Structure 1
Amino acid sequence: MPARTIPPATRHDLFGPSTIHAETHRLFFALMPDDAARQRINRAVALLQQQYPELRARWVNPERFHATLNFLGDYPALPADVVAQARSAADSLSASGFAWTLDYAASFRGRQPPCVLRSTVVPDLLQALWQDMNKALAQVALHRHIERQFTPHVTLAYARHELPSAVPIIPISWQLRHFVLIHNVVGQGSYHVLGQWPLST
């Protein structure tokens, strides 16, 4: 199902027309760090906060640290059919676990430049997982949001300014053992995990 544009609703009350912004329900597959990796990522955040206060950033809650694997779209309500298709795609995959080492912080460009953790070397198995998921999503007609390139990263913050350059960090080795399907009502706190699929050892 293609993503639908979500227009604001308008109502009239005693003080004239006002705008009610509809909820945005976001779906995506992601890699979530275990507790040890999450703590190490959070320590990297603390050092960046000390070293670069000029970022004036809005920092991500550690519970929401993740690496997006495949984006499935924004919807005005949770689409049961898309969730079922996504589950079917994930069920069809057979992928191996792997280690991923994050070793530097950088900024992406944007109105609020994301501050992210990245890796000098992207594991072949991570690239293969993304490619295999894209193929599986195409098989169930969820191909609208398939990207041509994959830039794996963990978003730490949305900032007022960019980091001046890539910033080396103490390497964070992250063992990937599963991936998850996440439902996020944008702006409303925690993620909801709708499914989890193991990566073989």
Structure 2
Amino acid sequence: MHRLFVAIRPPATIRSALIGLMEGIRGARWQDDEQLHLTLRFIGEVDGRTAEDVAAALGGVRQPPFAVALDGVGQFGSRGRPNALWAGVRPHDSLAHLHRKVDQTLVRAGLDPEGRAYLPHITLARFGRESGGLDAFLARHAGLSSAPFEVTGFALYESRLGHAGATYTMVERYDLRD
């Protein structure tokens, strides 16, 4: 089985800026440089044949390149407890359009449609039971921003879960074009 997702890899300057923020929260499991990405669509576990179909189908996605920028920070949580810290990305329109195209392509390849609302973000950290200092971090970095960076493509990744966290391997890269 293959655990797959589709994502955009931010440029090195953006990843470096994000890594520079990663401190000051007890219990944070910070993402490393190899883990920083902007998810377009989580696929999940699929067999080898489906993985091949997905990789081939994504080659048909067409959209012109576009620019986005970092924009603020936030958190996801459940049951009143934070479980992830993220950096936001704007503008959403081009990202949402690309997300829809990827989702429609995957549905045509036989997968179920995305069931969750799409909120473009780059995960910075994950939390277990402790997240001391999170509120101060959110306040300190609420105005996070960057110069716009060009999105010229996206990739299909395979994720392997381990004791030290997830490791991601790029399966195939796809260039954006009209």
Tell me the TM-score range normalised by the shorter chain. 0.7 to 0.9
- Separation in 2, partners of 1:117, 1:156: 7
Instruction: Name the aligned partner's letter for residue 71 of structure 2.
Output: D
Correspondence for 1:69 among 14, 18, 40: 40
Larger radius of gyration: 1
- Residues 122-157 of structure 1 deviation map (CA, whole Å, 9 limit, x = unaligned): 33221110011111111111125x134201110000
Distance 1:151 1:189, change over 3 A: closer
- Separation in 2, partners of 1:55, 1:157: 11
Matched, 1:150 2:111: no
Q: How does 1:107-122 map to 2 (within 5 A)?
A: 107-110=75-78, 113-119=83-89, 121-122=90-91
> Are the equivalent residues in 1 in contact too, given 2:2–2:48 (CA < 8 A)?
no
Match of 1:13 in 2: none
> Are the equivalent residues in 2 in contact too, given 1:40–1:172 (CA < 8 A)?
no
Normalised TM-score (structure 1): 0.74
Distance 1:54 1:70, change over 3 A: closer
Matched, 1:37 2:14: yes
Unaligned runs of 5+ in 1: 1-23
Match of 1:191 in 2: 168
Match of 1:19 in 2: none
SS at match of 1:113: strand
- Residues 90-127 of structure 1 deviation map (CA, whole Å, 9 limit, x = unaligned): 112111111111121111113552010013x4332211
Deviation at 1:29, TM superposition (A): 0.5
- Separation in 2, partners of 1:59, 1:68: 17
- Separation in 1, partners of 2:56, 2:96: 21
Match of 2:30 in 1: 59
Distance 1:54 1:64, change over 3 A: closer
SS at match of 1:86: helix
Match of 1:6 in 2: none
> Are the equivalent residues in 2 in contact too, given 1:99–1:174 (CA < 8 A)?
yes
Comparing 66-75 with 168-177, greater Cα deviation is found at 168-177
Comparing both structures, which one devotes a greater share of its residues to strand? 2
> Are the equivalent residues in 2 in contact too, given 1:106–1:117 (CA < 8 A)?
yes
SS at match of 1:33: coil
Equivalent pairs counted in the alignment come to 167
Match of 1:141 in 2: 110
Distance 1:54 1:178, change over 3 A: closer
Q: Which runs of 4+ in 1 moved over 3 A?
A: none
Matched, 1:124 2:96: no
- Separation in 2, partners of 1:102, 1:36: 12
Distance 1:168 1:66, change over 3 A: same
Match of 1:91 in 2: 59
Normalised TM-score (structure 2): 0.82
Matched, 1:181 2:152: no
- Separation in 2, partners of 1:89, 1:180: 12
Unaligned runs of 5+ in 2: none
- Separation in 2, partners of 1:109, 1:142: 27
- Separation in 1, partners of 2:37, 2:51: 19
